[in-house]
Amino acid sequence: MNNNTKEKPIVGWIGTGVMGRWMCEHIMPLASKVIVFNRTIEKADPLKKLGAHVAHSPKEIAEEADIIFTIVGHPSDVRDVYFGESGLFSGARNKSLFIDMTTTEPSLAIDIQKKAISLGCDALDAPVSGGDVGAKEARLTIMVGGTDGSYEKALPFFSLMGSSTLQGKSGSGQHTKMCNQIVIAGTMAGMCESLLYARKAGLDGKALIDTISKGAAGCWSLNNMAPRILDNNYDPGFMIDHFVKDMGIALAEARLMGLALPSLALVQQLYISLQGSGQGSLGTQALVLALDRINDTHLFSI
């Protein structure tokens, strides 16, 4: 991307929550102008203070921006942002590039690209992994589906948010994210069971993490989420409600492919039990609370 301001694109950003706020901030130097939208308008204040303009609808952004990023909550939110009465496609400009970084259904990613192409535009699905810390520190893993040309156009922006790889055609980014979430579900369960076992056995949790993280048990969940549990910190880097949604998408896709994923289904049920207790807004590390409840051990609490 040329450093000449006149050649920089106008960038739109929809979704300025716990991750989107930081992701947008990182890419602002590449834009001649940044226009943001969030349903809860106050969440756009940090970006407004940095010079971003605040729009009143996705349509307003689409009417002006060259590249538009979206990262919202659920597939229904994505549909509304793109296909709604005041959605992006109602104001799309020719040759605009839409980049959805929400974790959503592969079929929805394909629908978005087809509609974008019909309007003379293009779209990428680019879900991310890394949580709030990865977003803040620009260390996200970005999984992309779409065309080579649009990926190259987006690459300078992705590079300021983390590392990215083009996985294949439209929908491939979302399928890759499903694989990612399947692994996380398993490692999160193993990590939480390990901490429950350690506390019951009277081990020092911090010493445990320091030791086993250096061996074959080392993983992202152990390094990033286990310390939060030991500090009784269940604030969301990634909310249970959103993770349950992701696991539901993965299980639905698996059924379509004739696959049984029993471990994933079990972990999803444990998280659903937390939702049933009104704890869906906690971070995914709160899985340890469900295990503590099942065992009636009372070793962990908020």
**Domain 5-169 superfamily per CATH:** NAD(P)-binding Rossmann-like Domain (3.40.50.720)
The answer to whether 5-169 and 175-295 have equal CATH topology is: no
Q: Quote the pLDDT of residue 4.
A: 47
CB atoms within 10 A of CB 37: 24
- pLDDT (tens, 9 = 90+) of the chain, 302 residues, equals 444 445 899 999 999 998 999 999 999 999 999 999 999 999 999 999 999 999 999 999 999 999 999 999 999 999 999 999 999 999 999 999 999 999 999 999 999 999 999 999 999 999 999 988 999 999 999 999 999 999 999 999 999 999 999 999 999 999 999 999 999 999 999 999 999 999 999 999 999 999 999 999 999 999 999 999 999 999 998 999 999 999 999 999 999 999 999 999 999 999 999 999 999 999 999 999 999 999 999 999 98
Burial 122-155 (b: 16+ CB within 10 A, else e): bbbbbbbbbbbebbbebebbbbbbbbeebbebbe
Q: Which residues are catalytic?
A: 177
The topology under which CATH files domain 175-295 is N-(1-d-carboxylethyl)-l-norvaline Dehydrogenase; domain 2 (1.10.1040)
Q: Give the Cα separation of 182 and 250 in Å (integer).
A: 8
Q: Quote the pLDDT of residue 27.
A: 98
Which letter does DSSP use for residue 285 in this model? G
Q: Give the Cα separation of 177 and 220 in Å (integer).
A: 15
Per-residue model confidence as pLDDT tens digits over 244-284: 999 999 999 999 999 999 999 999 999 999 999 999 999 99
Residues composing the chain? 302
Q: Quote the pLDDT of residue 1.
A: 42
77 backbone φψ class: left, alpha, beta (φ>0; ψ -120 to 50): alpha
Q: Quote the pLDDT of residue 2.
A: 41
Percentage helix, strand, coil for the chain under 3-state DSSP, each rounded to 5: 55, 15, 35
Q: Quote the pLDDT of residue 6.
A: 59
Q: Which of 126, 124, 135 is nearest to 103 (CA)?
A: 126
Residue extents of the structural domains in the chain: 5-169, 175-295
